[in-house]
């Protein structure tokens, strides 16, 4: 399965209309996709979670990994609904205890994503969640972290995709499920 | 109501046993209360959310405000279950669009908490959520932000309280509900 938009589900349009596009944030030329306005509409927020839960509930997902910080908003409700563990993937130095990290590229320089050692076990089936996929660099780092400890990454789930940035091609062959495209 | 631990509910002990204490993080002498191990136990995580939902579902809460970043893990599931808006309260420069901020003290220097203008309306009844209350400085900043836009802060909800730090006294008279104390 190559991962498709939940086509024609009537809830999708309701979610799309709630996303606020903020021009020139964080810098000139970027049209920032603000999902906080979705969270202000209880129905739209619930629909977002329900669409993912309906897709994943029968797929034996044992781990939902959410990318800091907006992946922490969407990942836990999905995990709770499907009975999976939730694992936060964080910026450096936030997680206590032993961690492993993956570097990924930014426009200028690199950043790191960290995960606790021992959080997930080899053989877990994992879903990676973030609010948006742009270049795919962060999601790729997340996939790497999970695979390094023996997880099978089943899919990546994002509310929004920026398809022109081709992030979908950077997911090590893993499928992407998204709800809304922005071109 | 001055806000009480959910006394004697059998689920509390299950949650408490899942919290991992990490010594000397982020620096020597601090016994860090790590809730990520609660999130690895679907029942303990669900029980945590359920305890708060049961408390708040009939209180006409219209807004759940979660403090970045661990408040983003607990706040949204509560908001979804009680049909409230979720509003993220964030570190500086993360929120796009127009924001207001409150400063609060750290051990050395200050930090700021930001909220979107227009997210919360006068008359909203708000719940503030974070994983833990220590000195209460961040929660106090959150209360201030919400009150400045005319919301009524009904209560603060935290999984863990460090009562020796007396944070409960810094909540501008607002009640605190917590599940687990650590002395």
Chain A residues touching residue B26 (CB < 8 angstroms) = 93, 96
Say how far apart CA B51 and CA B43 lie, in whole Å: 12
Output the pLDDT for position A112. 97
Indicate the residue of B36, B49, B97 with minimum beta-carbon distance to A80: B49
User: Residue B21 pLDDT > 50, yes or no?
Assistant: yes
* HEC assignment per residue over A24-80: CCCCCCCEEEECHHHHCCHHHHHHHHHHHHHHHCCCCCCEEEEECCCHHHHHHHHHH
Compute how many other C-beta atoms are within 10 angstroms of the C-beta atom of residue B138.
Answer: 25
Question: Is omega for the bond preceding A173 within 30 degrees of 0, making it cis?
Answer: no
Region A162-174: mean pLDDT is 97
Output the pLDDT for position A4. 53
Q: Parallel, antiparallel, or unpaired for β B110-116 and B125-133?
A: unpaired
Question: Is A45 in the B-facing interface, judged by CB distances under 8 Å?
Answer: yes
Using DSSP's 3-state secondary structure scheme, residue A81 falls into helix
Question: Which of 90-129 (A) contact B at CB < 8 A?
Answer: 90, 93-97, 116, 119
**Distance in Å, alpha carbon of A29 to nearest chain B alpha carbon:** 14
Residue recorded with tokens 């303990």: B44
A168 is catalytic: no
Chain B residues touching residue A73 (CB < 8 angstroms) = 72, 76, 86, 88
Region B136-153: mean pLDDT is 98
Region B127-145: mean pLDDT is 97
User: Residue B92 pLDDT > 80, yes or no?
Assistant: yes
Q: Do B72 and A69 touch (CB under 8 A)?
A: yes
Q: Which chain B residue lies closest to A30 (C-alpha atoms)?
A: B96
- Share the mean pLDDT of chain A: 94
| Reported confidence tier of residue A84, pLDDT bands at 50, 70, 90 | very high
Of A2-6, A33-37, A111-115, B78-82, where does mean pLDDT reach its minimum? Answer: A2-6
Say how far apart CA B40 and CA A95 lie, in whole Å: 14
Q: Do A76 and B39 touch (CB under 8 A)?
A: yes
Of A120-124, A130-134, B57-61, B123-127, where does mean pLDDT reach its minimum? Answer: A120-124
pLDDT tens digits, residue range B151-179? 999 999 999 999 999 999 999 999 999 99
Q: Which chain A residue lies closest to B47 (C-alpha atoms)?
A: A80
Residue B129, beta-bridge partner list: B66, B157
Instruction: Name the strands in the sheet holding A63-67, side by side, starting at the edge strand that comes first in the sequence.
Output: A85-89, A63-67, A125-133, A152-161, A176-181
Region B26-54: mean pLDDT is 97
Q: Do B93 and A26 touch (CB under 8 A)?
A: yes
Output the pLDDT for position A1. 27
* Complex prediction ipTM: 0.95
Residue B26 near residue A93, CB atoms below 8 Å: yes
Residue of A118, A179, A167, A108 lying closest to A141 (CA atoms): A167
Region A149-153: mean pLDDT is 96
Region A2-31: mean pLDDT is 86
Whats the size of chain B, residue-wise? 183
Output the pLDDT for position B2. 33
Residue B148 near residue B128, CB atoms below 8 Å: no
Residue of A118, A69, A116, A79 lying closest to A97 (CA atoms): A116
Question: Is A32 in the B-facing interface, judged by CB distances under 8 Å?
Answer: yes
* HEC assignment per residue over chain B: CCCCCCCCCHHHHHHHCCCEEEECCCCCCCEEEECHHHHCCHHHHHHHHHHHHHHHCCCCCCEEEEECCCHHHHHHHHHHHHCCEEEEEECCCCCCCCEEEEEEECCCCEEEEEEECCCCCCCCEEEEEEEEECCCHHHHHHHHHHHHCCCEEEEEEEEEECHHHCHHHHCCCCCEEEEEECC
Region A5-20: mean pLDDT is 87
Output the pLDDT for position A2. 33
User: Residue B5 pLDDT > 70, yes or no?
Assistant: no
Higher pLDDT, B17 or A5: B17
Distances (CA, A) of A119 to A112, A148, B30, B35, B108: 18, 12, 22, 12, 32
Residue of A171, A117, A112 lying closest to A148 (CA atoms): A117
What pTM value is reported for the model?
Answer: 0.96
Q: Angle at Cα A49 formed by Cα A130 and Cα B64, nearest 5°?
A: 90
Q: Name the percent of chain B lying above pLDDT 90.
A: 93
- Share the mean pLDDT of chain B: 95
Q: Which chain A residue lies closest to B66 (C-alpha atoms)?
A: A73
């Amino acid at each position: 399965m190559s991962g498709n938009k939940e086509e024609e589900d009537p809830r999708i349009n309701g979610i799309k209309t709630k996303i606020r596009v903020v021009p020139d944030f964080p810098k000139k030329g970027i049209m920032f996709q603000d999902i906080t306005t979705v969270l202000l509409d209880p129905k739209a927020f619930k629909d977002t979670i329900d669409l993912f839960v309906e897709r994943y509930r029968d797929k034996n997902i044992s781990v939902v990994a959410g990318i800091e910080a907006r992946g922490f908003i969407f990942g836990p409700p999905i995990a709770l609904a499907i009975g999976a563990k939730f694992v936060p993937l964080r910026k450096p130095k936030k997680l206590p205890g032993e961690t492993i990290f993956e570097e990924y590229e930014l426009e200028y320089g690199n950043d790191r994503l960290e995960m606790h050692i021992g959080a997930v076990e080899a053989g877990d089936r994992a879903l990676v969640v973030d609010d948006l996929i742009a270049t795919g660099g962060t999601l790729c780092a997340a996939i790497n972290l999970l695979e390094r400890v023996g997880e099978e990454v089943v899919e990546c789930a994002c509310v929004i995709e920026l398809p022109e940035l081709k992030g979908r091609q950077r997911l090590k062959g893993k499928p992407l499920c998204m709800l809304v495209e922005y071109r």
